[in-house]
Structure 1
Amino acid sequence: MNVYTKPFVSPHDLIHNHLTPKGIIFSAPYGVAEAEEYLSRINWYRFKSYLHPFLVTGTKKYIPGTTFSQGVELYYFDCELRELCNKYILRIEVKAKTILDQIITSFTNDPFWYLCDDYFKDTENLPRLRQKIAGDLSYSRMEFAKYYKANYISPKESWRTSPPFWLAMELMSFDTFVKFANAVDSNKFMYSGKNKLGDAAKQMSAKNYREMISWLLAIKELRNRASHNARTWNSNYRLPSGFVDNKNALVTDSYLTIPPVKKNKIYLILATIKLITDNLIKQRNQFSTELQELLKKYHNHSYILSGMGFPANWTSDPLWNPKN
């Protein structure tokens, strides 16, 4: 373990002593002056990852002809991609919470079902999650929360200060919600040979509850990166089920006809967003249309699609076909 002793490096020194010697070209619209001003607004350790795709493999030199502007354009593409993803993930979050609340509450006839261990297969983390919700309620200044606190208590003796799930889901983060949903035991929701949580999954375009949870876990990872302005476009993500196996071969009844270039990239999560939002939004293929418009805007950068896991002929896959 070494003590970190690297000194501060100014934008001017980064350009003249680091980037230029390694082959970066500074030309309009980002000449030296513009690049220096840009690096005074964007932290170098945030921006440097957007120049990484232009490195010669196995070296610290950049591919001949690489410009600073290319890194800036990739940075802006990632910003727009995050905005697009967040726009639709927020809708998915609202829908998923609503579906789960309505189906489980109606099945159990208990708006406090999330406080009962009998409905869960994994109870280890439940006390902590429940305590967090009760704490969030106690600190909340939202009108509905204040009204509940002033007028009601929970019928659950051990959780008197906890709210019903319909109120709890308005206070909990998407991360907490997915943890609750993942812990639910779907076997406890059988009726007439069918499964109530399977009905919930179909409303989210998934084949079954397990697949829906797989999608939500993957979307949660993407949401965490997008919401915290982290590099999103070529990061690695968990594999959502229903598309390819661990060897990147199409699974039986895959939603795709063409496998991704890489299975652990954002492409498959974008596919799940497309599938889910087609059931949420009146105008089908809206997400697909906006995604294709964004990619066309940056169509000169071939490395973008491959870095995201997109196959070369991805638009010919029926999943993305606007006629569907």
Structure 2
Amino acid sequence: MRTRAGHFFYAMTDFLKPHLTIDEQINLLEARGLIINDKKQARDYLSMICYFRLIPYQRDLQDNQSADHSFFDGITTDNIFQIYFFDRELRLLIFDMIEHFEVAFRTQLSYHYSVDELPFSNGAGRRWWFEDPKNFKERKIFNQNLRTIDEEIERAKKESIIRHYHSKYTIPKRPPSWITFEVISLGLLSKIFRLLKLSEAKKTITKNFNLYSPDLLESWLHTLTYVRNICAHHGRLWNRTMKVRPQVLTKPQDIWISDNNVSLDKIYISLCCGLYLLRVIDPKTKFVAKFNAIVEKYPEVDLAYMGFPIDWRDEPFWNEDARVL
């Protein structure tokens, strides 16, 4: 319906769809033209994987212009479950990759800002550099971040490193950065790094990840935080439109993809950013070999839905033996 101002709005309605038993779910899929390869297997899977969770994996196998979202001819339950289990294994692999980067970044940030010269003179101050507003661009966001730090320290109060600090020391209230930064979230670390003024410490951290611009590291950190949160909450990566898009690496200091003309809203480019950083942290990483094993295990999965170019295997960047320069 169009309003007088010319805007459209859609009338809300009550949710009236009934709950379906597993057998009713299977009957519905069959009615839409899906071939059930093995009904017992389908029942087993649907008893452990919510039917609604599988819907996004089905959409591109269906005629979404039809009223009943009927499946294209020849589509089977195997097609759907191949995509689902591929996505699950990819998610676990990427989560592990980002964990390596997260640990390294925490270390770099707390170390270099604690030892490098900053706009105050005493060594004690450097240990609590994250409390000094002079190091940050915006006072309001700085204060918000400090409050969030306190909340996350409180949530982590049963962690041994926090318990130990509070059992021995009363002042300062917050532990030094190398303790505090072990218990705050990657999302908060990303916000803190983005808010920091340009300094020698920020340049050093960027250089240590073989990047040429702190802005680029900020972008990649934000992107990987977003991807990590999808993985941590068991979200879908296959055919997902990513809301956070990384800056493109135009002056690589290390091996990189030869063509940056790829979709920035698919997981492929984020995966490339993560792999670039992982190779800096662990030059002998087996990530590519593990990824190839997953791809070979699920040959029917079309990687184009994740932004992979047709010739991605020809990229030296995706060679299992590729090493940092």
TM norm structure 1: 0.85
2-structure distance, mates of 1:25, 1:117: 62
Cα shift at 1:115: 0.9
Match of 2:312 among 306, 314, 317: 314
Q: Which residue of 2 aligns with 1:202?
A: 207
**1:228 aligned partner, one-letter code:** H
CA drift at 1:138: 4.1
| Alignment partners' CA distance in 2, 1:15 and 1:33 | 10
Runs of at least 5 residues in structure 1 that lack an aligned partner in the other structure? 155-159, 190-194, 244-250
| Letter matched to residue 263 of structure 2 | K
Report Cα offsets for 1:58-79 as digits up to 9, x if no partner: 3312110000111111111111
On the 8 A contact 1:121/1:185 being kept in 2, the answer is yes
**Residue 104 (1) aligns with residue 113 (2):** yes
How many angstroms does 1:131 deviate by? 2.5
Q: 2:135 aligns with which of 101, 108, 119?
A: 119
**Alpha carbons of 1:323 and 1:131: their partners in 2 closer, same or farther (altered >3 Å)?**
closer
Question: Equivalent of 2:83, from 74, 90, 96?
Answer: 74
Identity %: 23
Q: Is the 8 A contact 1:133 1:171 kept in 2?
A: no
1:26 aligns with 2:36: yes
Aligned residue number for residue 231 of structure 2: 226
Q: 1:16-68 CA distances to partner (integer Å, 9 max, x unpaired)?
A: 1x2112110011xxx22321232121111111111122113533121100001
**In structure 1, what is the Cα distance between the partners aligned to 2:322 and 2:150?**
47
For residues 229 and 91 of structure 2, what CA distance do their matches in structure 1 show? Answer: 10
Q: Which residue of 2 aligns with 1:271?
A: 272
TM-score (norm 2): 0.85
- CA deviation map 1:144-192 (0-9, x unaligned): 21221122244xxxxx422211111111011111111111111xx1xxx
* AA at the equivalent of 1:263: L
Counterpart contact for 2:153–2:184, Cα < 8 Å: no
Residue 170, structure 1, aligned to residue 143, structure 2 = no
Name the structure 1 match of 2:7.
none
Query: Residues 101-139 of structure 1: CA distance to partner in whole angstroms, max 9, x if unpaired?
Result: 111111234111111111111333333332233244345
Residue equivalent to 2:46: 39
Q: Structure 1 residues 3, 56: closer, same or farther in 2, change over 3 A? A: closer
Q: Corresponding residue for 1:52? A: 59
Contact 1:23 1:64 in 2 (8 A): yes
Higher relative contact order (CA 8 A, sep 6+): 2
Q: 1:162 to 1:6 in 2, by over 3 A?
A: same
**Residues of 1 paired with 2:164 and 2:153: CA distance?**
11
Deviation at 1:253, TM superposition (A): 5.8
Please show how residues 240-251 of structure 1 align to structure 2 within 5 Å. 240-243=246-249, 251=250
Alignment RMSD: 2.0
- In 1, the alpha carbon distance for the partners of 2:251 and 2:100 equals 29
> Any stretches of 5+ residues in structure 2 without a counterpart?
1-11
Q: Give the structure 2 partner of residue 6 of structure 1.
A: 17
SS at match of 1:3: coil
The one-character-per-residue Cα deviations of 1:276-298 (angstroms, maximum 9, x if unpaired) are: 111111415x2222222221222
On the 8 A contact 1:261/1:306 being kept in 2, the answer is: no
Sort the Cα spacing of 1:151 and 1:169 in 2 relative to 1 into closer, same or farther, 3 A. Answer: same
Q: Structure 1 residue 223: deviation in Å?
A: 0.4
1:34–1:57 Cα change, 3 Å: same
CA distance in structure 2 between the partners assigned to 1:163 and 1:128 by the alignment = 18
Which of 68, 72, 86 lines up with 1:63 in the alignment?
Answer: 72
Q: Does 1:179 align with 2:191?
A: yes
Give secondary structure in 2 for the equivalent of 1:94: helix
Contact 2:101 2:277 in 1 (8 A): yes
Superposition misfits of 4+ residues, deviation over 4 angstroms: 251-254
Counterpart of 1:295 in structure 2 is 295
Distance 2:232 2:261 in 1: 25
* Inter-partner Cα distance in structure 1 for 2:183 and 2:278: 23
